Amino acid sequence: MLNTAEKIEQRSFNQPTEVRTFDKGRVELVNVGGSVIGRATFEPGWQWSKCVKPLSKTGSCESSHLVCQVSGTMRIRMDDGVEFTCGPGDVVKIPAGHDAWVEGNERAVVVDFQGMADYAKKK
């Protein structure tokens, strides 16, 4: 029999710890292993600077993200002007200081392993 020093933790996005909604999007949060993991769904037309900035009251997104893109296409523009596109299957580290938006007519879904603890919280 396998003896584990740590307890197994299992959570499901089907029963999130918390759900935060904002214009054209939502994030479902689970707490597991001392981390807050988020599944974010962004509808076509979502853009951080239009839909989340009014909640965060910051110039750009100040969260650093480690995401796995599940579906859809997103474009990210860093504060220094660098831009890149993310699509299904991409795993991306996005530093703080960026804007992002959905490209096309398909909703974008990402699982974020790092930057959701304070994401889209009203300040």
pLDDT digits (tens, 9 = 90+) for 66-115: 999 999 999 999 999 999 999 999 999 999 999 999 999 999 999 999 98
Q: Which of 115, 57, 112, 55 is nearest to 86 (CA)?
A: 112
Answer whether 79's CB lies under 8 Å from 97's CB: yes
What distance in Å separates the CA atoms of residue 107 and residue 84, rounded to the nearest whole number? 18
Residue 1 pLDDT > 60, yes or no? no
CATH topology for 18-112 is: Jelly Rolls (2.60.120)
**In this predicted model, what pLDDT tens digit does every residue of 49-64 receive, in sequence order?**
999 999 999 999 999 9
**Please, which pLDDT band fits residue 2 given cuts at 50, 70 and 90?**
low
What distance in Å separates the CA atoms of residue 48 and residue 34, rounded to the nearest whole number? 27
Mean pLDDT, rounded, for 19-32: 97
Q: For residue 121, what pLDDT is reported?
A: 83
Contacts (Cβ under 8 Å, ≥6 apart) of 93 = 64, 65, 66
Where is pLDDT greater, at 30 or 5? 30
Q: For residue 5, what pLDDT is reported?
A: 67
**Please, which pLDDT band fits residue 26 given cuts at 50, 70 and 90?**
very high
Mean pLDDT, rounded, for 11-28: 97
